């Protein structure tokens, strides 16, 4: 028994029909919609967590966030240093090379972005040709077909690979991440150039101060030598006393060329850092060089360096790029759809060239699939996954190395400040001893030789203090660099202007400058 038929409520629905010339376009649009929701490969979720510890190992007197480290040298109040660093930032060759590498990475990223769009070419030609009448095509037997023809042609050709599974999208993500890593590397170069200019300048200033103190020692010992020779002539001193005084003078005098050479080498180094011949800043040898004032430095939280250090930021971006590479390799497991289209006008007579009847058009979808190449594709995927694991480990290593670098710089700076404070205490004691010796010599209680010995002690203490000051300044630069100072990092959270001086038991506050926004 046949089942009762349903009542007809209207005409049966029919599938939409498109003109034959529009069907490839509809197919392309459908594939584009499919591509929007079919991006293969892992999504980047950020860097892996790294144990950063609980905080700085050295005791700090405050917990205020770090100040503006981007232009930390400006707070030193040294116009010569400001000029040197600004010139280096404009002319240093390492920085210019880094900028060129960023431009290269940007161009590569733009090329990858361009590959997502259709490639279109246009052209026009006029050609005249003659075909053989004895060839495979019997020209002479076909009515209306001449052996000699002039062909007028103009048109366009377009090709587009539809990003069905997000290979182009992942490639663009990887290229963008590598561009950002290249920019972070350039920031690292900038940071190192700033630090190297400041370190070299501090070395030149310290050598000048040390040279003045050493010259004072030589002058004092020269007076002592003359005094001993006079006493020897009068029979109050032996020849051995003269030899000992001469040996002390000669030893102190021999130290002068080394200090002068170090000062000159520092000035030569500044010229090269400024992207100029070494003798560019030789005039600084004749200029008065004042010592750098050291004040308090707010160093902020330990985790802040992960936001400021360019090497950490670059390592994170390379991890993102390696993650995107997995998606590029994974997309090779799936088919690819390419669409080629062309059109234009072709005619045998110039008058008919752009007539409607001379129009031509073609569209060609092409599907390709590495169906029997899965072994090599999967091997490439495993290689990209291994590369991603390496990038993750490199990021972790960079984070830990940056923390270790900052801790070492903080410890060195702490020790440098402690040494400087003790050298200053010794210098104060030497000055006090000289004052007593001067008073006793004026009263006739001691001889001139004892007064000269007190003067020599002061000069030697000044040399030691100058070296300690230079060492503390250079270590302060290293600390700035380890904290990621010297370039414009992303805007931090609201910061306090209170400095964090480093605690030195039994010593007064001596540190680097409090930094403020320029």
DSSP string, 448-492: HHHHHHHHHHHHHHHHHHHHHHHHHHHHHHHHHHHTT-SS-PSP-
Where does 163-302 show beta strands of DSSP type E?
none
Above 90 in pLDDT, residue 117? no
- Residue 111 CA to residue 392 CA, distance in Å, equals 27
Alpha-carbon gap, residue 317 to 82, rounded angstroms: 32
The whole-number pLDDT of residue 361 equals 86
Task: List beta partners, residue 346.
Answer: 153
At what angle are helices 167-234 and 239-273 packed, to 10 degrees? 160
pLDDT for res 75:
83
Q: For strand 148-162 and strand 119-130, is the pairing parallel, antiparallel, or unpaired? A: antiparallel
496 band by pLDDT with thresholds 50, 70 and 90: very low
pLDDT at 491 over 90: no
Give the residue, 27 or 390, on which the prediction is more confident: 390
What pLDDT score does 510 carry? Answer: 31
Residue 86 pLDDT grade (very low, low, confident, very high; cuts 50, 70, 90): very high
Confidence band of 12 (pLDDT split at 50, 70, 90)? very low
Residues 6+ apart with CB under 8 A from 147: 130, 131, 132, 133, 139, 140
Query: Integer distance in angstroms from the first to the last C-alpha of the chain?
Result: 95
All CATH 1.20.1600.10 domain ranges in the chain, comma separated: 43-116+166-334+375-482
Distance CA 287, CA 351 (A): 84
- What's the CA gap between 212 and 406, in Å, rounded? 34
Q: What is the pLDDT of residue 296?
A: 62
A 10 A CB-CB count for 126 gives 11
Long-range contacts (CB closer than 8 Å, 24 or more residues apart) made by 34-38: 34/164, 35/162, 35/163, 35/164, 35/165, 35/166, 38/164, 38/165, 38/166
Q: Summarize the confidence of residues 270-297 as an average pLDDT.
A: 85
User: How many whole angstroms from its chain centre is CA 94?
Assistant: 11
- Contact 114/172 with Cβ under 8 angstroms? no
Mean pLDDT of 361-387: 89
pLDDT confidence of 34, banded at 50, 70, 90? low
Q: Which fold does the domain 43-116+166-334+375-482 belong to in CATH?
A: Outer membrane efflux proteins (OEP) (1.20.1600)
Q: Which CATH number fits domain 118-162+335-368: 3.20.20.105, 2.20.200.10, 3.40.50.300, 3.90.180.10?
A: 2.20.200.10
Query: How far is Cα 369 from Cα 155, in angstroms, rounded to an integer?
Result: 30
Enumerate the H helices of 21-92 as residue ranges.
Answer: 23-35, 79-91
pLDDT score, position 144: 67
Q: Are 171 and 361 in contact (CB under 8 A)?
A: no
Q: Where does residue 299 fall: left (phi above 0), alpha (psi -120 to 50 degrees), or beta otherwise?
A: alpha
Higher pLDDT, residue 148 or 205: 205
Q: Is the pLDDT of residue 503 over 70?
A: no
Find how far residue 68's CA is from the centre of its chain. Answer: 18
Which range (70-84, 239-253, 298-312) has the least confidence? Answer: 298-312
Higher-pLDDT residue of 63, 257:
257
- Does position 368 have pLDDT exceeding 50, yes or no? yes
Residue 149's pLDDT is 81
pLDDT tens for 425-442 read 999 999 999 999 888 888
Whole-Å CA distances, 204 to 179, 270, 366, 470: 38, 9, 69, 9
Residue 514 is predicted with a pLDDT of 31
Residue 255 half-sphere exposure, CB side, CA atoms within 13 Å?
Answer: 17
CA distance 206 to 472: 11
Q: Which range is most confident: 69-73, 194-198, 336-340? A: 194-198
- Which of 332, 333, 324 has the alpha carbon at shortest distance from 387? 324
**What mean pLDDT is reported for the chain?**
82
> In terms of pLDDT, which residue wins out, 131 or 205?
205
Using the predicted structure, report yes or no on whether residue 236 has a pLDDT greater than 90.
Answer: no
Q: Give me the mean pLDDT over the 382-402 stretch.
A: 95
Question: In this predicted structure, what is the pLDDT of residue 518?
Answer: 28
pLDDT above 50 for 350: yes
Band (pLDDT 50/70/90 cuts) for residue 143 is confident
Q: Give counts: helices (H), strands (E), the chain.
A: 9, 4
Residues of the chain with CATH 2.20.200.10: 118-162+335-368
Cα–Cα distance measured from residue 198 to residue 477, given in angstroms and rounded to the nearest whole number:
7
Tell me which of 376 and 31 has the higher pLDDT: 376
């Amino acid at each position: 028994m046949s089942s009762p038929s349903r009542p007809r409520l209207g005409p049966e629905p029919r599938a939409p029909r498109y003109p034959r010339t529009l069907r490839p376009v509809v197919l392309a649009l459908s594939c584009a919609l499919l591509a929007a929701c079919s991006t293969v490969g892992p999504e980047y979720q950020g860097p892996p967590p790294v144990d950063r510890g609980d905080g700085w190992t050295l005791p700090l007197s405050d917990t205020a966030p770090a100040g503006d480290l981007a232009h930390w040298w400006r707070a030193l109040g040294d116009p010569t240093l400001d000029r040197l660093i600004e010139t280096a930032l404009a002319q240093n060759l390492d920085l210019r090379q880094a900028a060129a590498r960023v431009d290269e990475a940007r161009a590569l990223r733009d090329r990858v972005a361009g590959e997502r769009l259709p490639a279109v070419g246009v052209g026009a030609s006029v050609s005249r040709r003659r075909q053989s009448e004895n060839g495979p095509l019997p020209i002479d037997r076909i009515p209306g077909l001449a052996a000699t023809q002039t062909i007028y042609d103009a048109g366009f050709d377009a090709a587009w690979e539809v990003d069905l599974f997000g290979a182009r999208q992942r490639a663009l993500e990887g290229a963008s991440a590598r561009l950002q890593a290249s920019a972070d590397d350039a920031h690292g170069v900038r940071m190192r150039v700033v630090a190297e200019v400041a370190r070299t300048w501090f070395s030149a200033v310290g050598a000048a101060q040390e040279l003045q103190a050493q010259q004072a020692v030589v002058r004092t010992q020269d007076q002592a030598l003359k005094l001993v020779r006079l006493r020897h002539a009068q029979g109050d001193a032996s020849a051995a006393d003269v030899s000992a005084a001469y040996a002390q003078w000669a030893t102190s005098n021999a130290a002068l060329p080394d200090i002068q050479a170090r000062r000159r080498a520092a000035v030569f180094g500044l010229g090269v850092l400024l992207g100029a011949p070494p003798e560019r800043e030789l005039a600084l040898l004749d200029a008065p060089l004042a010592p750098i004032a050291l004040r308090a430095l707010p160093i902020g939280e330990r985790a802040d360096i992960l936001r400021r250090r360019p090497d950490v930021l670059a390592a994170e971006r390379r991890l993102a790029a390696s993650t995107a590479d997995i998606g590029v390799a994974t997309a090779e497991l799936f088919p690819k759809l390419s669409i080629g289209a062309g059109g234009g006008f072709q005619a045998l007579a110039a008058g008919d060239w752009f007539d409607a009847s001379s129009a031509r058009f073609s569209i060609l979808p092409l599907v390709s699939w590495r169906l029997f190449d899965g072994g090599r594709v999967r091997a490439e995927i495993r290689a990209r996954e291994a590369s991603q694991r390496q990038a993750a480990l490199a990021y972790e290593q960079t984070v830990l190395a940056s923390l270790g670098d900052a801790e070492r710089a903080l410890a060195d700076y702490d020790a440098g400040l402690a040494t400087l404070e003790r050298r200053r205490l010794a210098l104060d004691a030497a000055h006090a001893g000289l004052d007593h010796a001067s008073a006793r010599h004026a009263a006739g209680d001691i001889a001139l030789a004892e007064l000269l010995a007190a003067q020599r002690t002061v000069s030697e203490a000044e040399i030691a203090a100058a070296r300690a000051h230079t060492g503390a300044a250079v270590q302060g630069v290293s600390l700035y660099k380890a904290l990621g100072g010297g370039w414009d990092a992303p805007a931090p959270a609201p910061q306090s202007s209170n400095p964090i001086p480093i605690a030195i038991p039994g010593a007064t506050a001596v540190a680097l400058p409090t930094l403020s926004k320029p």
